[in-house]
Amino acid sequence: MTLANQLLTSAELAQPLPLAEAETLAGELSRVAGMSVYPRSIAARGCVLFFLGRRDTHKFLGAIHAGAALAGEFTGETREVTLNGGNALVLTQCPTDPANAAALRTALPFTAPVTLGLCKSIGCGDRLGLATPGHVRAVRKGNMAPIFAQQSIREMTRTQRTPEEVMDDASWGVFQEGWRERFGADADHLKTPDDVDRCVAAGFVFYTVDPGDHVDNAADADDPATLRQKVEALPWDDLEASPDDLRRSYLGREFDVGDFAVTFSEEDLLRAAAKYGRAVAHTVRMYRRVADQMGDRPFELEMSVDETETPTTIPEHYFVASELNRLGVEWVSLAPRYIGRFEKGVDYIGDLTVFEADFARHVAIASALGPYKLSLHSGSDKFSIYPIFDRVAGDLVHLKTAGTSYLEALRATAGTDPGLFREILAFAFERYAEDRASYHVSADPAKVPTPDQLADGELATVLDDFDGREMLHVTFGSVLTVADAAGGYRFRDRLLAALQADEEAHYAALEAHFDRHIAPFG
């Protein structure tokens, strides 16, 4: 019996083939399907042989089966084929559209996201929808559980993508690379109940609540009288407590978190409550919305206050976690605003010794009041603090990256289409002043070489420069959505086409870059 026929008798999910056997079978499948088949995508279940192939720049799902009709909700064109001169079989060739992505997640459950729990993890944001295969190749070499579908509502708006598109692109990438381990899907930086509903409908399982709009940054500098007024005005019905309850719960007590105890002076408590009380209330409302919409389906929650103006102190962290516990919220990770500067796409800016000492105290609280993971947002390229996170937090780490994958796509483009990269760089100079408004960045465009100052072989060096990297990072939304004179996209389609034309260059850039992110974590 041939290898293909053996797979076609498999009712349960067959084990992945050794790469050499997969490559041999992919050659035969490529011949009968008329497209180039990705060897790692070959999978068999339910007496159907599934694979992903590419013809020109278009990808198709292939399914070979013995019956006249393919089981499930797949839609596509069918024709008769034979493998290695055997009996006649049926090939169904399906477009990689939303309906077939949903059917794929049912037929091959490893292409659907699941919850990850308290294990060391990494979020791999993908603003272009093409990066997952490169992410998979890097993740395979480490021990971090991946989240391959991850995008914030802000990013979806700026890239004009939907939650469904983010999910589908990750599923197809997982299928292409034959990733059989679990992976997550993070609906990132959700701010409204509508955000929750859209992402639940798309199948996300990890929900990052961003209550940053409800954090009172001014409380860091308010005088005691102002703090008292702010605390009295908190939404106590939502918090299911009162100012007197608050004082009884925290004042005059020591909270042992292992290596030290957290105590609250009255001013500490007022400041923590004034700063984060409304954020806690909003997180509770959002958590309950997620729980209501998900029903009996498992999900995970993260609370993120990283994009606020002032660091989260140790008493403030304890207050937030303690209040979430009191209000019945279950969460898997929390992203405080750490000390130092976490700018987009560049390394940490600050004193590493001071950071480590402060971070160790955050870890102690997370261990005592959870345990839950500490999430590192704006985590791209923070190479100097990865060893600290790994050494101090162990498995209680979630590293979240996003824009760095877009930047590595630009690196690949600089090598394969220098002219397009020059145009994008010139456009970034035009857009940076406006686009930087919603980001914590400090790049000076005057320090970035202009396109005409660089030879083709020097273009990618802009991506190794602090100022150039940040400038290109924050202008991604404008680059991907600006219109051309004909009403189409000025850059988007050309950028996607360049990456698809030489996808191995793109994957190689991503793999090399994410190796640097993952290796420090063991």
How far is it, in rounded angstroms, from Cα 169 to Cα 76? 19
Residue from 126, 177, 188, 300 carrying the catalytic annotation:
188
Contact assessment for residue 147 and residue 181, using Cβ atoms and an 8 Å cutoff: no
DSSP per-residue string spanning 9-74: T-SSPPPPPPHHHHHHHHHHHHHHHTSEEPGGG-EEETTEEEEEEEETTEEEEEEEESSSS-SSS-
Q: Quick one: how far is CA 473 from the chain centroid?
A: 16
The CA-CA-CA angle for residues 67, 68, 73, to 5°, reads 90
User: Going by C-beta distance under 8 Å and a sequence separation of 6 or more, which residues neighbour residue 421?
Assistant: 410, 413, 414, 459
How far is it, in rounded angstroms, from Cα 289 to Cα 82? 52
Q: Is 188 known to be catalytic? A: yes
Residue from 302, 316, 417, 511 carrying the catalytic annotation:
302
Q: Is 423 known to be catalytic? A: no
Contact assessment for residue 220 and residue 202, using Cβ atoms and an 8 Å cutoff: no
How far is it, in rounded angstroms, from Cα 149 to Cα 132? 8
How far is it, in rounded angstroms, from Cα 279 to Cα 284? 9
How far is it, in rounded angstroms, from Cα 130 to Cα 165? 11
Residues with a known catalytic role: 188, 302
